Structure 1
């Protein structure tokens, strides 16, 4: 079963070809991370999958699919009074207990009365995640969710996503702003540059010639994998050899190449 699938997805902005016949699918419980340089079409791909931007090709969603979308930026008037509690009740109303429990779950308890405009970048990202999770989604779609966060903030957010997937079984489709840092729990990494250059498990993709050719040799040309230290809540490190993964239809060390 597939939650969302695109076949020959093509997006143009005027005369500019942004995405050229992209094929992608996400299965239940899977974490898929998309990396690519600026202008590679990452955000356009997410928006096309969500039906927010015109595209050609075919997008198929599971019947009744519930999507939790965490945008890259929140376009809000900073002078608009909007407490966290009110923001989390848009568009669906939730009980005070549900709101409190979810804020605690994402690591920012007790901020219901704080103004959205007064939150730090890390707090805002967790509130956006809380709002998405309150809808009980089948899939979380995250557009560069750690952009602007420092390394500790990024690692902490990745650990949170991994824990949420483990606890709820939600699938995750995430665009990473950092070409060389990918959550180790990713089941697949997709390298995008207008088309899919290569895809596969993180430790396989990091050695793929297509990845090296596209993204150069920063961090020795390899993906740095944020490893979740299950027995140390605040420990994180880079692991270049292991990734926690769940079964999916790609063979253990198979990397898919595309021209």
Structure 2
């Protein structure tokens, strides 16, 4: 697939629409087409796939996704300035003979069921706004079976928390929930200078491929309560941090020593506890 000829550069788009990145929206824009294309390629072969992008901004990643064999790209944007940018790109695609390939949804992604936007097989590929990346991910994990794959950019610290191993500094609630539902991998790191404006920290792209079997909603809810209690007071032994959920009795039933701390438990051990809840 190719883009229409004569599209303005991303910097020209930003200048024309006054699309300065806003801290309140967690915006940091990628403008290097070669780097953006490499990020889109991390999602693998998109032939026949329906892609949802959250927070397209000036449309750099949107353009890269449209140059893949993806069947459709649905861009979800809340910033009215960026909506005008994506509308112009959509109109250019239509004039180029691809009228329905780019779809625009003006909405807050935190309040939207993204799976309703397109048929399966579907993927999410996004440079997520820093201020809502984690809650968005947890919401998608609750419905992980809706997705074939998620390729998401976060602050490096958040990415490391998603893929962390037990008994490591970054291992916590986000690692357990993510790895319980998906195979996870940190795919690449991106320096601050690649963005406009540059953030203060590195970013990273994480790949999440949902497991074939997913927990039902009541079990996911139990795991959320369990991990919130277990990691809410990391220095406490489990018999203390899980006191409100049954403490020693729950741990005895699971065959887990109550003197251990949350960061030493494997995902499988957390699964055993959640099922007992």
TM-score bracket for this pair, using the shorter chain length: 0.3 to 0.5
In our comparison, the structure showing a higher alpha carbon Rg is 2
- Using the size of structure 2 for normalisation, the TM-score is 0.34
Could you say which structure has the higher helix fraction?
2
Greater RCO, 1 or 2 (C-alpha within 8 Å, sep 6+) = 1
